[in-house]
Amino acid sequence: MKRQRAYAPLLAVAATLFAAGDASAQTPATVPAPAAKAPPIAAPAVVRLSPTVQLAGQTLHLNGKGTRYRAVVRVYDIGLYATTKVSSLEQLAAAPGPKRLQLITLRELKGDMLGVAMVQGMQDNAPSGERIKLIPQMERLSRIFGAEPSAAAGTALTIDYVPGKGTAFYLNGEQKGEAVADPSYFIAVARIWLGNKPADATLKDALLGIEAKRAESGGG
């Protein structure tokens, strides 16, 4: 209970970064949301998200990319990499080889907010049977990013999964903490964006390449 009270102020702010919910609905009362339509949540991401990357001796392909908005403010670009094309969280879990989530911040973010936001996103999307199991790793994740004063605009946050080694977090190429060996941990983190209560549903579709498929087929 004390721990929850201590996190409460951070959770309220951090929820706007990763937690589920429509971006326009998160706009503060003093800043009215656009009346006509919501901002383009999945606008094209920056070119720093390369079409392919090398990880553990394998080539990963950019599965999808998009931009997370806070109201009309761009917060970060994000891309999902895998060895094969995936269109669901289940397919990502079953995909062989390493996997990567790559974020590029587009504004300065406080380190403690970043960590707590990721923890909140994991809590929102974790199946009820897994929440207790994830508590130690969620607290560890919060401590890792809580030790960072801030992440300046342009900071690269990389989340890598390598079979046999686990999931590791990097800020601008520097590993933060030890890798988590549990193979299911990467998927637990990926649920922040790809789960049933994603940070943004349109961004989820962009990462899974669903928007691209709609465009090719002429669908709405």
Model confidence pLDDT, tens digit, residues 90-128: 999 999 999 999 999 999 988 888 888 889 999 999 998
- Looking at every residue in the chain, the average pLDDT score rounds to 80
Enumerate the domain spans of the chain: 2-217
pTM of the model: 0.78
Class (C level, CATH) for 2-217: alpha beta
Return the HEC string of the chain: CHHHHHHHHHHHHHCCCCCCCCCHHHCCCCCCCCCCCCCCCCCCCCCCCCCEEEECCEEEEEEEEEEEEECCEEEEEEEEEECCCCCCHHHHHHCCCCEEEEEEECCCEEHHHHHHHHHHHHHHHCCCCCHHHHHHHHHHHHHHHHCCCEECCCCEEEEEEECCCEEEEEECCEEEEEEECCCCHHHHHHHHHHCCCCCCHHHHHHHCCHHHHHHHHCCC
Q: pLDDT grade, residue 217 (50/70/90)?
A: low
Q: What is the structure's pLDDT at 85?
A: 97
**Listed range (21-25, 69-73, 206-210) with the worst mean pLDDT:** 21-25
pLDDT tens digits, one per residue of 159-172 = 999 999 999 999 99
**Which pLDDT score is estimated for 129?**
84
Average pLDDT over residues 177-201: 93
